[in-house]
């Protein structure tokens, strides 16, 4: 059995005090949900404060990005060791907004994943197609390209310490959500690609694959009921404690 994993990506939202208030509420609402792994991904500036607030809780913390170099003359960047030092156990890599607005490539995703793993972080590696890709039947091609090149040369041990997130770009922040069948189809594809990539028969079966794209409490249960959907990477609905907690509870059912 793969433990469901629900991660809240706050993106560019919440001051430090607002972040602390949110996780203080969330901690009370999800206390005791040990059968679901719960993660929050605040802004860089709030990571340390959120970490202190969540000490002793079951909620983990992720950064929203990292740079692959450890140190040096890279103004504005944050390395894996600095993220670990701030209290994180996870890091989101290759989110579609990083690809769309900030020049993220499959190569940089691969470098970042390796850097994260070397520092003991669990990377949440994002893949997903644009609307125009889906409309011309290129979903499989794009998702395979993102995945194969993003995880290139990761060992079986490393991939088992990673999470994959499928996020159809056309469903992010648009209010549109992939149907459960659409999500399952691509999740099954991802698991098939992983099975082809790694020789051990059970590697693909053990890796968790999240769905991300306008996940709400109303849509979560149907999405999470699919056999290859192991959790959710939640955007807007993670900015309120009650709605995010409702998604976590949906993962328990």
Question: Please, how many CA atoms are within 13 Å of residue 176, restricted to the half-sphere of its CB?
Answer: 12
CA neighbor of 25 nearest in space, from 240, 246, 252, 247: 240
The set of residues, in sequence order, having a beta carbon less than 8 Å from that of 204 and lying 6+ positions away, is: 191, 192, 194, 195, 198
- Which structure tokens are listed for 7? 């991660």
Whether 167 is catalytic is yes
- Candidates 95, 97, 104, 146; catalytic one: 95
CB 87 within 8 A of CB 63: no
The span from the CA of 225 to the CA of 186, in Å, is 15
Q: Coil, strand or helix: which one is 93?
A: strand
Helices of type H across 165-253: 180-197, 203-206, 217-224, 241-252
90 is a catalytic site residue: no
Residue with tokens 């249960």: 221
**Surface-to-core class of residue 81, CB atoms within 10 Å of its CB (0-12 exposed, 13-18 middle, 19+ buried):** middle
Of the residues 97, 104, 129, 167, only one is catalytic, namely 167
C-beta of residue 215 within 8 angstroms of C-beta of residue 232: yes
- Cβ contact 210:7 at 8 Å: yes
Active-site residue list: 95, 167
């Amino acid at each position: 059995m793969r433990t469901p994993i629900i991660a809240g990506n706050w993106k560019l939202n919440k001051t430090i005090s607002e972040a602390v208030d949110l996780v203080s509420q969330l901690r009370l609402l999800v206390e005791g949900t040990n059968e679901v792994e719960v993660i929050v991904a605040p802004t860089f500036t709030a990571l340390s404060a959120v970490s202190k607030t969540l000490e002793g809780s079951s909620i983990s913390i992720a950064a929203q990005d990292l740079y692959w170099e450890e140190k040096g003359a890279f103004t504005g960047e944050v390395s894996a060791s600095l993220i670990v030092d701030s209290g994180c156990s996870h890091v989101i890599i290759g989110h579609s907004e990083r690809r769309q607005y900030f020049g993220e490539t499959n190569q940089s995703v691969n470098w970042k994943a390796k850097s994260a793993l070397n520092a003991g972080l669990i990377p949440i590696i994002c893949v997903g197609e644009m609307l125009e890709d889906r409309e011309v039947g290129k979903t499989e091609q794009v998702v395979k390209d993102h995945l194969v090149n993003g995880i290139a040369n990761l060992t079986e041990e490393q991939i088992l310490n990673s999470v994959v997130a499928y996020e159809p770009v056309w469903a992010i922040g648009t209010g549109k959500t992939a149907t459960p069948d659409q999500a399952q189809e691509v999740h099954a594809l991802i698991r098939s690609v992983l099975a082809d990539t790694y020789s051990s028969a059970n590697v693909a079966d053990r890796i968790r694959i999240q769905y991300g794209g306008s996940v709400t409490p109303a849509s979560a249960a149907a999405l999470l009921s699919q056999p290859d959907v192991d959790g959710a990477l939640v955007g807007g609905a993670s900015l309120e404690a009650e709605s995010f907690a409702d998604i976590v509870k949906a993962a328990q059912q």
